[in-house]
Structure 1
Amino acid sequence: MVDVKTEISINRPIDRVAQYAADPDHAPEWYDNIHTVEWVTEKPMKLGSKIAFIAFFLGKKLEYVYEIIEHVPYEKLVMRTANGPFPMETTYTWKKGKEDVTIMTLRNHGYPTGFSAVVTPFISFMMKKANKKDLAKIKKILELK
């Protein structure tokens, strides 16, 4: 099992952070590994919406579709793979910190199969490293706006 949780404080109000982070169209801007996003279902995002992603991780091209399974605006967004290399759930949460600070958490939880299952500890380590980098990037983007 992979269960990677990372967190960062962003010096921006919760509504700005959550609106930006929850919009799949912004993913290629702040996720280094995500190259393209394509809506499978029509916008706007709602429960059941499906979004296709093309990413590169550990030198491999990954194509997968996430389905929105939970969305509480300005609090939580949960996406689960509808198809892809292995079942994965990604959760964003946002909590109000002091003044105009938002605490954003990114959690990836899943069950690698096949060869991926053998290298799960390595995948977890690399995913944590990538997530920290991605959260640092979203922080930089939002704090410059």
Structure 2
Amino acid sequence: MTIDVTAERVIPLPPEHVAAYAMDWRHDAEWTQGIRTAELTREADGGGFGVGAEVTRTAYFLGRRIDYVLRVAAYDFPHLLDMLSVAGPMPMHVTYSFEAHPRGTVARIRVQGGKSGFYRLAGPLLARQVRSSVGKDLRDLEQRLAEGK
């Protein structure tokens, strides 16, 4: 069984504003569930953050510390940030997308992944936890933006 979870939320701000915060790895620990640290460990080929850049995250999930590296596969500000895990406990594909909406921005997070090792045993619990986490991520993203952070 693989995981494929999508959550979305309308945030009452323009896409450029929402994406500027959400697509900046320096804010990952502020609004993403379980993330304790995030560090740019490889710059994009042209420098800075973009396609080819890698962010190393330390998180806690289901009571376990996990360290993983996400490589940027697609970057189209302010619409899309698509990342693939290149190191970590399980294969993962994370996509953030932002589109204009009459009330602001539809912010969407999709997490896809396979299970291996410990995660293979977690089965349906893992899918429920991921679904809950990405929903909370979007709620926290909206709250952070409303606070002006």
Under TM normalisation by the shorter chain, which class is it? over 0.9
SS of equivalent residue, structure 1 residue 65: strand
C-alpha distance after superposition, 1:75-129 (max 9, x if no partner): 1110100110000000001010015x10000010010112312322110101111
Identity %: 29
Query: TM-score, normalising length from structure 2?
Result: 0.92
Structure 2 unaligned spans of 5+: none
Query: TM-score, normalising length from structure 1?
Result: 0.95
Q: Distance in 2 between matches of 1:55 and 1:5?
A: 20
1:48 alignment partner, one of 36, 39, 52: 52
Aligned position for 1:2: 3
Is residue 130 from structure 1 mapped to residue 94 from structure 2 by the alignment?
no
Q: Distance in 1 between matches of 2:59 and 2:147?
A: 26
Is residue 19 from structure 1 mapped to residue 20 from structure 2 by the alignment?
yes
Runs of 4 or more, structure 1, over 6 Å off, are none
Is residue 118 from structure 1 mapped to residue 125 from structure 2 by the alignment?
no
Of the structure 1 ranges 36-45 and 50-59, higher mean CA displacement relative to structure 2 is found in 36-45
Over aligned residue pairs, what C-alpha RMSD do you find? 1.1
1:65 alignment partner, one of 62, 69, 87: 69
